[in-house]
Chain A
Amino acid sequence: MLGGYISDLEKGDVFKPVEYVLTPFMCSEYAHGTEETSEYFHSARNPAGRQIRPPTMIHVDKMRILEENCSKEKRVAGMAGPDARIHYEYHAKHHSPAYVGEKVIVTGHIVDKYVKRGREYLWYHLEVRTSDGRPVTTYDDLTVLRYKPTGVP
Chain B
Amino acid sequence: MSDKPSFRVGEDLTGPVRCITPERIEWYDSAMLSAATNELRRVGSNIHTDAEYAKGQGFSAANADGMIMTNWCSAMLLRAFGIDYLERGELRTKYIKPTNVGVELHVKGRIKDATRQPNGNTVYTIDVWCEDEQGTKLVDGDAKVEVARG
Q: Which A residues are within 8 Å of any B CB, using their own CB?
A: 20, 23, 25-27, 29-30, 32-36, 38, 40, 47-48, 52, 54-57, 59-60, 63-64, 67, 76, 78, 80, 83-84, 86-97, 147-148, 152
Stretch at the interface among B4-12, B64-72, B108-116: B64-72
Contact residues in B for A80 (Cβ distance below 8 Å): 46
Per the bound structure, the CA–CA distance linking A93 and B145 in Å amounts to 10
**CB < 8 Å A-B pair total:** 133
**Given A25-B38, A87-B67, A90-B70, A30–B31 Cβ distance below 8 Å?**
yes
Residue pairs across A and B with Cβ atoms less than 8 A apart, 22 shown, are: A25-B34, A29-B34, A30-B31, A32-B31, A33-B28, A33-B32, A34-B72, A34-B75, A54-B71, A59-B32, A59-B67, A60-B36, A86-B95, A87-B66, A87-B95, A90-B91, A91-B90, A92-B92, A93-B89, A94-B88, A95-B88, A152-B58
Contact residues in B for A36 (Cβ distance below 8 Å): 71, 74-75, 78
Closest A residue to B34 using CB positions: A29
Contact between chains at B87 and A94 (CB < 8 Å) = yes
Interface centre among A26, A38, A63, A90 (most CB of B within 10 A): A90
Per the bound structure, the CA–CA distance linking A34 and B74 in Å amounts to 10
Contact between chains at B31 and A33 (CB < 8 Å) = yes
Contact between chains at A91 and B91 (CB < 8 Å) = yes
**Among residues 83 to 111 in chain B, which have CB atoms less than 8 Å away from a CB atom of chain A?**
83, 85-95
Contact between chains at A89 and B95 (CB < 8 Å) = yes
Contact between chains at A48 and B83 (CB < 8 Å) = yes
Per the bound structure, the CA–CA distance linking A55 and B70 in Å amounts to 11
Q: Does B44 belong to the interface (CB within 8 Å)?
A: yes
Which 4 residue pairs of A and B lie closest in terms of their CB atoms, listed nearest first?
A: A33-B31, A34-B71, A148-B58, A30-B35
